[in-house]
Amino acid sequence: MELIFATNNRNKAEEIQQMLPDTIRVLTLKDVGIEQDIPERQSTLEGNASEKAHFIYERYGRDCFADDTGLEVAALGGAPGVYSARYAGSDKDPQANMDKVLEQLKGEDNRRACFRTVISMILEGEEMFFEGVVEGRLLREKKGDAGFGYDPIFLPEGSSLTFAQMSMEEKNRISHRSRAIMKLANYLRQYSQHL
Ligand code: IMP
């Protein structure tokens, strides 16, 4: 069975492939020769993931899935959320994005935040969603230089290290993305037994 993942990020696709049974093959957009930009115009993570999956399904009629992730900060009413990648501008600069969040939280004691990943999968024409959340809080300064995005300011609950101070394995054990992928993988494992 083949599933198209609406991404060109080989690493993301590989990470998911490793969690799935051998009978399921994850293909990237490049693998299947899709070169168009996939639209992400919605105002929620669910909306964007769904829009990307539908884009593939409606054009190619193939089983597929898409993901979207955001950092949701309680004191900012859930921002940057769906706008996480370009919070400080269209050049998607992670340092500027973190600086903007830290500036907005200056003097704020409520540091609660979470990362949330939503996956939309369309299988035999039916759409379903999987969600992964990791709760935590935001520091007042950046710590660590591994990872990407907002990792240096995010301290996951129960940890004394930020995501940027962890190895990739440590982060993957608890991350929002892994949690969503795990749910997708569990579903597909059961589904593939009935094929
Ligand atoms: P995407 O949907 O995976 O492309 O994520 C959108 C944006 O959310 C990224 O550009 C990052 O700014 C942020 N983000 C997503 N996942 C992570 C993470 O694991 N650590 C830090 N930032 C993340």
Instruction: Locate the domains of the chain by residue range.
Output: 2-193
CA of residue 190 to ligand 1 center, whole Å: 29
**CA 129 vs CA 83, 134, 188: distances in Å:** 20, 17, 13
User: Choosing from 63, 68, 91, 99, which is the catalytic residue?
Assistant: 68
Question: Does the Cβ of 69 fall within 6 Å of ligand 1?
Answer: yes
CA of residue 84 to ligand 1 center, whole Å: 7
Q: Which pTM was predicted? A: 0.96
CA of residue 70 to ligand 1 center, whole Å: 6
User: Is the pLDDT assigned to residue 193 strictly greater than 90?
Assistant: no
User: Is the pLDDT assigned to residue 89 strictly greater than 80?
Assistant: yes
CATH value of 2-193 in 3.90.480.20, 3.90.1200.10, 3.90.950.10, 3.40.30.10: 3.90.950.10
- pLDDT, position 194: 79
112: nearest Cα among 74, 81, 77, 152: 74
Nearest protein CA to atom 10 of ligand 1, as residue: 85
- Rounded CA-CA distance 59/147 in Å is 34
- Rounded CA-CA distance 114/101 in Å is 13
Question: Does the Cβ of 152 fall within 6 Å of ligand 1?
Answer: no
- pLDDT, position 57: 97
- pLDDT, position 20: 87
With tokens 């990739």, the residue in question is 168
CA of residue 194 to ligand 1 center, whole Å: 34
User: Is the pLDDT assigned to residue 195 strictly greater than 80?
Assistant: no
Instruction: Answer whether 26's CB lies under 8 Å from 3's CB.
Output: yes
The pLDDT tens digits for 28-63 are 999 999 988 899 999 999 999 999 999 999 999 999
Question: Does the Cβ of 68 fall within 6 Å of ligand 1?
Answer: yes
Question: Does the Cβ of 163 fall within 6 Å of ligand 1?
Answer: yes
- pLDDT, position 192: 85
- pLDDT, position 19: 85
Give catalytic status of residue 93 as yes or no: no
- pLDDT, position 82: 98
- pLDDT, position 6: 96
Count of all residues that appear for the chain in the document: 195
